[in-house]
Amino acid sequence: MEKSIKDSRSILRTIEEEFHLPDQDIRTFSPLVLAYMGDCIFDLIIRTVLIKEGNRQTSKIHKAATDLVKASAQAALGDVLLEVFTEEEVTIYKRGKNSNPHSIPKNAEIMDYKKATGLEAVMGYLYLQNRMERAVHLVRTGYHILNKEI
């Protein structure tokens, strides 16, 4: 019998077990690798919230998601979260922000993109630490501070 969705085993642990992945010290990972994962995790959190708010046209969900995951929105979120990040999270954020990405999207300002990369690095780090609850809490807290409801 398959386990229910509410089982305590996380997505990360399920993937690690099913693919027999070794434990690794993610503190040694490049901040761009963490941001690569964090981009997906941040997007997952935002899309989950938007979809669970209620059934609607995917074009409307996509528009709302795009407004929340673009570099400028992530940069604003990163700015306010600096006040609530732990020391460890600040370190990861700064590593991501100070990294040298190989390309910058044409619709993003360089500083916004760097701050967004910092935020994504934190999201990726927390996910790979199996601390999704903290990642979700930070996103919710940041939007509350910004007085934006999602």
Instruction: Render pLDDT for 135-148 as a digit per residue (tens, 0 to 9).
Output: 999 999 999 999 87
Place of tokens 């990861």: 92
Catalytic residue among 25, 39, 43, 79: 39
pLDDT (mean) for 73-93: 97
Evaluate whether residue 97 is within a structural domain: yes
Evaluate whether residue 95 is within a structural domain: yes
Evaluate whether residue 38 is within a structural domain: yes
Half-sphere exposure at residue 16, Cβ-oriented, CA atoms within 13 angstroms: 12
Annotated active-site residue 39? The verdict is yes
Instruction: Render pLDDT for 55-82 as a digit per residue (tens, 0 to 9).
Output: 999 999 999 999 999 999 999 999 999 9
Between the two ends of the chain, the Cα-to-Cα distance in Å is 36
What predicted TM-score, i.e. pTM, was given to this entire model? 0.91
Domain span holding position 36: 31-145
Evaluate whether residue 17 is within a structural domain: no
